[in-house]
Amino acid sequence: RHQWIGEGTIGPEPFRGIMRDPRLAPVIKIIETPKGDDPIRHDRRMLRRLRAYARSGATVGPRKP
């Protein structure tokens, strides 16, 4: 079942990592979230959240062993 970005089982940190990893910058991302009664409003809300994740904190890269 789909959830709002950062509010489901995965949580916000993996999304922050995806949005901040420079290796993934050129990769097109597709999101599937619940739409509710106003699909455009909900999509805009999720895009704002993803953009905020991209701006927050330091850039991440591959983990060191």
For residue 1, pLDDT beyond 80: no
**Res. 65 pLDDT band, cuts 50 70 90:** very low
User: Residue 17 and residue 53: Cα distance in Å, rounded?
Assistant: 8
User: Residue 13 and residue 43: Cα distance in Å, rounded?
Assistant: 20
Q: How many domains does the chain have?
A: 1
Which residue range forms the structural domain that includes residue 47?
A: 1-65
pLDDT given for residue 61 in this prediction:
52
How many CB atoms lie under 10 A from the CB of residue 16? 19
| pTM score, whole prediction | 0.73
